[in-house]
Amino acid sequence: MSDKKINYCICGVWSGDRAYKPSEYLNDRAYILRKNLEYLSKVNHNLSQITIIINESGERNPEFDQYVKEIPSNFGDTKVVVLVRPNVGISYGAFSYCFELYRDQFDYFIFVEDDYVFYPDYFDDKLLEIYKEKCDTGYLCGFSDSGRGASISNGMFSNEVLTKIYNHYNELPHAKEGAHKTTSQVVFSQSISKIGIEIYDWLDTYSSPFYDNNIGIVHFGDTSLPPMIMPIQLL
């Protein structure tokens, strides 16, 4: 167990239209967030805080709103915070907003899309161990593609790295209004690479299952290795 304070940031939560929209989501707009939090409430971890950042969809959904109201303020010893903001910059705009609020309170930040979970027990300790060994001055993510940067962009940053990025751009970089998720992801990766932030992945020790809206599940890394992340489609 580490004595470092870690903020687990679930970014880009919303109740609007999605590329992935199973019947469960169409019938219950809280379905994806519900599955995410149900798993997170059961897996063992030593997180200091779980921060859920909701991007407003422009439409009110009573079932979603009610579910959000009922989210507990703690999962065990871990504080749970819900933030609501306009949908600017999608997940990466949400991450920037979260860091602005908590930049002085945590040693590390875990960025995760709302349709993924970190899967193994004590994933935070495992991430921190890899991070310190591999990339203490970079970004540890699910798949680092030399041509595109963080192609599976769920991962860990130190406060020191995020502060360097924030101080350079006066935000954590993201595409603005009307941007597709992939565009914002590319902007983020390219922007941090330009200022010397290296992007690494954990594929030598863990695998990264990925959900592609066109072809379904794609496995990155050695499938004999345990998964570090899991798309909610496999929960």
Question: In this predicted model, what pLDDT tens digit does every residue of 95-124 receive, in sequence order?
Answer: 999 999 999 999 999 999 999 999 999 999
**Closest by alpha carbon to 142, among 85, 222, 209, 208?**
208
Which helix (H) or strand (E) covers residue 16, if one does? none
The answer to whether the CB of 109 falls within 8 A of the CB of 6 is yes
In the chain, what are the domains?
Answer: 6-202 (3.90.550.10)
pLDDT higher than 80, residue 128: yes
- Within the chain, how many helices (H) and strands (E) appear? 7, 14
pLDDT higher than 70, residue 149: no
pLDDT higher than 80, residue 181: no
CA gap 22, 34 in Å, rounded: 14
The model scores a pTM over 0.85: yes
- Model confidence over 9-66: pLDDT tens digits? 999 898 888 877 778 888 899 999 999 999 999 999 999 999 999 998 777 788 999 9
Q: What is the pLDDT of residue 146?
A: 63
C-alpha neighbours within 13 Å on the C-beta side of residue 4:
20
Average pLDDT score over the chain: 89
Coil vs helix vs strand at 210: strand
pLDDT higher than 70, residue 180: no
**Closest by alpha carbon to 77, among 108, 113, 49, 51?**
49
CA gap 100, 52 in Å, rounded: 14
Provide the β-strand partners of residue 76.
none
